Amino acid sequence: MLREIVLATHNPHKVVEFQEILGAAAPGIVVLPYDGPEPSEDGTSFGDNALIKARAAARHTDRVALADDSGLAVEVMGGAPGIFSARWAGRAANDERNRELLLEQLADIRDPHRCAQFVCAIAVVVPGRDEKIFLGQWPGKIALTARGDAGFGYDSIFIPDGATITAAEMNPGEKNAHSHRARAVTALHPYIQQLNNRVP
């Protein structure tokens, strides 16, 4: 039975978020942090990059490994920042600078045309056995200004469809129930249940 999954990230926020989301979907599974080397994310899609990271973690730990690659896709910008979301303002950029640059680029775009979606690809690699990719999308729009202190990344400028507050103004439980990662995990859940029956 599958009890532990290595999450291929050095980001402690993601470890906590995935433990909450995956723990709700598959009780008893512990999400372990990854302490190995980071591979070069040179894929051309979220799925490619997630698989690169999951393969590296599986090789390094010889455990079932899970990795996600996610970002923000703005419709009027042709899907950008996309896979470059984490370094949109340059390789030395932080979350604040990425948000500020995106808001500057959208400054002249009126509210009806600020459609966007968070996208998440989750890859699972079972060493020597299997590789799978699962996708989740969270549609919404870009706010005119940043609002909220919770979350990270672009959360404070993203208003989900059907909401009047940003993702950073939601409580963690509300966000985790509806986010792109939660939706990808929902798609992942049946596969995790299969692994519970196959992995010793």
- What does the alpha-carbon distance between residue 59 and residue 168 come to, in Å, rounded to a whole number? 35
Residue 193 predicted with pLDDT over 90: no
87 contacts: CB under 8 Å, gap ≥ 6: 93, 98
| φ/ψ (deg, to 5) at 175 | -65, -45
Work out the pLDDT band at 17, boundaries 50, 70, 90. Answer: confident
**CB–CB of 31/25 below 8 Å?**
no
List the one residue out of 110, 122, 102 whose CA is nearest residue 49.
122
Q: Are strands 130-142 and 115-126 parallel, antiparallel or unpaired?
A: antiparallel
Q: What is the pLDDT of residue 15?
A: 87
Residue-wise pLDDT tens digits, 77-117: 999 999 999 999 998 889 999 999 999 999 999 999 999 99
Task: Using CB atoms within 10 Å of the CB of residue 24, give its burial: 0 to 12 exposed, 13 to 18 middle, 19+ buried.
Answer: middle
User: Looking at this protein, which amino acid is placed at residue 121?
Assistant: A
Q: What is the pLDDT of residue 200?
A: 56
Binding site, by residue number, is 9-14, 69-70, 152-155, 175, 180-181
User: Looking at this protein, which amino acid is placed at residue 4?
Assistant: E
Work out the pLDDT band at 20, boundaries 50, 70, 90. Answer: confident
- Domain annotation for the chain: domains and CATH numbers: 4-198 (3.90.950.10)
Q: In this structure, which long-range contacts are made by residues 91-100, counting pairs with CB atoms below 8 Å and at least 24 apart in sequence?
A: 95/152, 95/153, 95/154, 98/153, 98/154, 99/146, 99/154, 99/156, 99/157
Handedness of CA 46, 47, 48, 49 (dihedral sign): positive
Residue 10 predicted with pLDDT over 90: no
Residue 198 predicted with pLDDT over 80: no
CA-to-CA dists, residue 89 to 13, 105, 195, angstroms: 21, 11, 39
| Better-scored residue on pLDDT, 24 or 90 | 90
Residue 105 tokens read as 């680029």
Residue-wise pLDDT tens digits, 46-87: 999 999 999 999 999 999 999 999 999 999 999 999 999 999
Residue-wise pLDDT tens digits, 150-176: 888 999 999 999 999 999 999 988 888
pTM (two decimals):
0.88
Question: Which of 69, 95, 111, 130 is the catalytic position?
Answer: 69
Active site residue 35: no
User: Looking at this protein, which amino acid is placed at residue 150?
Assistant: A
Q: What is the pLDDT of residue 181?
A: 87
What is the overall mean pLDDT for the chain?
Answer: 91
Portion of the chain with pLDDT greater than 70, in percent: 97
Q: What is the pLDDT of residue 60?
A: 95
Residue 144 predicted with pLDDT over 70: yes
List the one residue out of 52, 31, 70, 45 whose CA is nearest residue 131.
52
